[in-house]
């Protein structure tokens, strides 16, 4: 029904509105993930937001990455939230209890887990954008990239050292929040091991105040588990050696691993383009990229190419098909014939090509899958930011027609100008938060 969506805006108006969202959510040194629901900086959101900002002001885009990097822990981890003073989001810094953690930089409060490593991808994209703007902007972006390259290398080294699973090679996540796909059905089986103890301190959810309908968010039972893992992290003092060995949630994540592979490639490329003198680091990055690709390839079903996560507590392969199962396409992990089969499946009627979809892009979960819920968060809706990632990866692969098609369909999704966090796939109704910064950012990247 059309009343669920505002009418489509023409591209120039849409671009102006997207720019206004980024401006309105800008605190000066960081753009919050959204005005109401997420009044802080999130790690992977910041990377996409910086890409969007680069189309408005390259210098401001670089400041965004600088703010994030200034919150990097001394061991290399980039935390998943950098907190502002806002108190309307739970769990805030007190609940995370990272103030006493020695790795955290003293001037800023952060969470104590990470998110997918898309930052090098963003930096490289920003350098590219700058090359189309002006000589001064190229100078700015390249100088910045050369200065921050070592910090990004240390971030990747932290992942390689502490999170590359010895058994399967996939990057280990210790909380669903680390995947960025919090309540995806991918995590249902691993979360079944997480049994909140009676000593879980009480809490009040604030996220439900930021949406129209609580059914668009994770359930209370899921939140108890999320909060219980924070207790376990605190009890392990956020020690990167201890956490991946002891937490009740330990999963090898194919999607994060695929992104890690291409982000390592991008750091290598940047080192070459900027003539950085870091031969040992570049060699390591190449090795990590190769290992990550191998691990993704290894996690793929030999008949379909669909890749599955690994529950590291019991060695089970979690055979839940979500959009993450198409991760091999992001990092070219598979032989051509299998890749072709996987791509045909992704663009076919069970996924992006579903005949009843408002926009022909992949949902987070296919309507043909048992766990599908058209309105609930990572269990079915379409996420513009994921559409961007796939279309961007297609472009890198040289599949330009497909990339253009996904960009056009992505724009169809966001053309109502509400910049929803996610969208109901059949009606195109915006769900979750509106004025979501990363949705505005990818819109700008598509339009500019
Ligand atoms: C928890 C900010 C973040 C995104 C995540 C998305 C959601 C947070 C939440 O919002 O997660 O980190 O409170 O639900 O799942 O991908 O980075 O936009």
Tokens of 309: 């996560």
Tokens of 230: 């924070």
* Catalytic residue selected from 8, 26, 128, 182: 182
Q: Which residues sit opposite 309 in a β-bridge? A: 318
Peptide bond into 286 cis (omega under 30): no
- Which ligand 1 atom sits closest to the C-alpha of 37? 13
Domain with 198 in it: what CATH number? Answer: 1.50.10.10
* Catalytic residue selected from 137, 222, 421, 424: 421
Report the domain count for the chain: 1
Closest CA to 293 of 165, 157, 170: 170
Closest CA to 23 of 440, 324, 362: 440
Answer whether 177 contacts ligand 1 (Cβ < 6 A): yes
- Which ligand 1 atom sits closest to the C-alpha of 179? 16
- Which ligand 1 atom sits closest to the C-alpha of 421? 18
Chain centroid, CA 407 distance in Å: 18
Distance 195 CA to ligand 1 centre (A): 22
| Domain extent for 326 | 2-447
Other beta carbons within 10 angstroms of residue 70's beta carbon come to 13
Give the CA count within 13 Å in the CB-facing half-sphere of 399: 17
Answer whether 182 contacts ligand 1 (Cβ < 6 A): yes
Distance 139 CA to ligand 1 centre (A): 34
Burial class (CB in 10 A: 0-12, 13-18, 19+), 180: buried
Active site residue 421: yes
Provide ipTM, 2 decimals: 0.99
- Which ligand 1 atom sits closest to the C-alpha of 217? 14
Task: Map tokens 């800008």 to a residue.
Answer: 26
Round to whole Å and give the CA distance between 306 and 299: 8
Answer whether 45 contacts ligand 1 (Cβ < 6 A): yes
Q: Which of 113, 180, 229, 433 to mutate to test the pocket of ligand 1 (most atoms within 8 A of CB)?
A: 180
Please enumerate in sequence order all residues whose Cβ is within 8 A of that of 109, keeping only pairs 6 or more positions apart, or say none: 82, 83, 93, 98, 99
Supply φ then ψ for residue 423, to 5 degrees: -135, 140
Query: Going residue by residue through the chain (448 aa), what tens digit of pLDDT does each one get?
Result: 457 899 999 999 999 999 999 999 999 999 999 999 999 999 999 999 999 999 999 999 999 999 999 999 999 999 999 999 999 999 999 999 999 999 999 999 999 999 999 999 999 999 999 999 999 999 999 999 999 999 999 999 999 999 999 999 999 999 999 999 999 999 999 999 999 999 999 999 999 998 889 999 999 999 999 999 999 999 999 999 999 999 999 999 999 999 999 999 999 999 999 999 999 999 999 999 999 999 999 999 999 999 999 999 999 999 999 999 999 999 999 999 999 999 999 999 999 999 999 999 999 999 999 989 999 999 999 999 999 999 999 999 999 999 999 999 999 999 999 999 999 999 999 999 999 999 999 999 999 9
Nearest CA to ligand 1 atom 12: 177
Answer whether 207 contacts ligand 1 (Cβ < 6 A): yes
Other beta carbons within 10 angstroms of residue 1's beta carbon come to 7
CA distances from 335 to 27, 93, 297, 355, 446 (A): 46, 45, 9, 29, 30
Write out the DSSP string of 151-208: HHHHHHHHHHHHTB-TTT-SEEESSHHHHT-TT-GGGHHHHTT----TTPPP----GG
Cβ–Cβ under 8 Å, residues 254 and 324: yes
């Amino acid at each position: 029904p059309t009343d669920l969506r505002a009418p489509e805006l023409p591209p120039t108006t849409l671009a102006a509105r997207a720019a206004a969202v980024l401006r309105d959510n800008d605190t000066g040194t960081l753009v919050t993930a959204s005005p109401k629901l997420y009044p802080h900086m999130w790690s992977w959101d910041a990377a996409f937001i910086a890409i969007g900002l680069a189309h408005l002001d390259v210098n401001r885009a670089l400041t965004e990455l600088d703010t994030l990097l200034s919150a990097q822990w001394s061991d290399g981890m980039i935390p998943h939230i950098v907190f502002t003073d806002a108190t309307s989001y739970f769990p805030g810094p007190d609940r995370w209890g990272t103030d006493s953690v020695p790795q955290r930089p003293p001037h800023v409060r952060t969470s104590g887990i990470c998110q997918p490593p898309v930052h090098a991808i963003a930096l490289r994209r920003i350098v590219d954008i700058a090359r189309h703007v002006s000589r001064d902007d190229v100078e700015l972006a390249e100088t910045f990239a050369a200065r921050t390259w070592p910090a990004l290398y240390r971030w990747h080294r932290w992942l390689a050292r502490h999170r590359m699973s010895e058994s399967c090679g996939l990057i280990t996540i210790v909380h669903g929040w680390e995947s960025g796909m919090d309540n995806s059905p991918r995590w249902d089986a691993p979360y079944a091991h997480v049994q909140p103890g009676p000593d879980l301190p009480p809490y009040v959810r604030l996220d439900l105040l930021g949406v129209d309908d609580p059914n668009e968010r994770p359930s209370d039972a899921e939140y108890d588990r999320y909060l219980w893992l924070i207790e376990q992290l605190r009890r392990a003092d956020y020690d990167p050696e201890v956490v991946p060995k002891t937490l009740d949630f330990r999963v090898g994540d194919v999607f994060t691993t695929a992104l890690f592979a291409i982000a390592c490639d991008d750091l290598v490329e940047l080192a070459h383009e900027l003539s950085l003198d870091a031969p040992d680091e570049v060699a390591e990055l190449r090795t990590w990229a190769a290992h990550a690709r191998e691990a993704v390839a290894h996690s793929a079903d030999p008949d379909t190419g669909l890749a599955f996560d690994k529950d590291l507590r019991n060695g089970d392969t979690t055979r839940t098909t979500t959009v993450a199962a198409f991760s091999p396409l992001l990092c070219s992990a598979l032989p051509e014939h299998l890749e072709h089969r996987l791509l045909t499946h992704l663009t076919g009627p069970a996924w992006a090509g579903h005949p009843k979809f408002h926009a022909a892009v992949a949902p987070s979960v296919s309507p043909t899958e048992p766990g599908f819920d058209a309105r609930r968060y990572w269990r079915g809706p379409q996420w513009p930011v994921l559409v961007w990632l796939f279309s961007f990866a297609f472009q890198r692969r040289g599949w330009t027609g497909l990339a253009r098609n996904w960009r056009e369909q992505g724009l169809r999704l966001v053309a109502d100008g509400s910049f929803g966090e996610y969208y109901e796939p059949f009606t195109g109704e915006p769900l979750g938060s509106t004025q979501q910064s990363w949705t505005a950012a990818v819109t700008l990247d598509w339009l500019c």
